[in-house]
Amino acid sequence: MKVIHDGGLQPTERSIDFFRKHRKKLGRILRVVVDGRIDTTFHMEIVGTKATMLLSGCTCGYRGTGPHGTVEILKLAGVEFDEQDIFTRDHVQVCCK
């Protein structure tokens, strides 16, 4: 599977822009995992039928810019999710239909 990423250590807005520019490379989105628990370069993984995208500027588990970026990307992707989970949980997985 092809993996594309935003280069790592990007501010939230750059990760959102990267998603907008490269969204079509994913194909149909199957799963999104966001993990704010670990200190890693990429906190968001979007798995599609054609590629996997890794984003560094989006996270979860608090009410900051990173989780707001996660909410924006999930909305742009048309993924159903509980917005409160993004702000209150430090690990979120969304499986898509």
55-70-74-90 Cα dihedral, nearest 10 degrees? 100
Determine contact, residues 37/59, Cβ cutoff 8 Å: no
Domain count for the chain, please give it: 1
**Domain of 25?**
2-95
Q: Which residues pair with 96 in a beta bridge?
A: none
From residue 52, how far is each of 11, 23, 37, 65 by CA, in Å? 20, 10, 21, 23
Q: Provide mean pLDDT across the span 37-60.
A: 93
* The pLDDT value given to residue 97: 73
Task: Give the pLDDT band of residue 47 (cuts 50, 70, 90).
Answer: very high
Task: List phi, psi (to 5°) of 48.
Answer: -120, 180
Q: Is the pLDDT of residue 38 over 80?
A: no
| 22 — pLDDT class (breaks 50, 70, 90) | very high
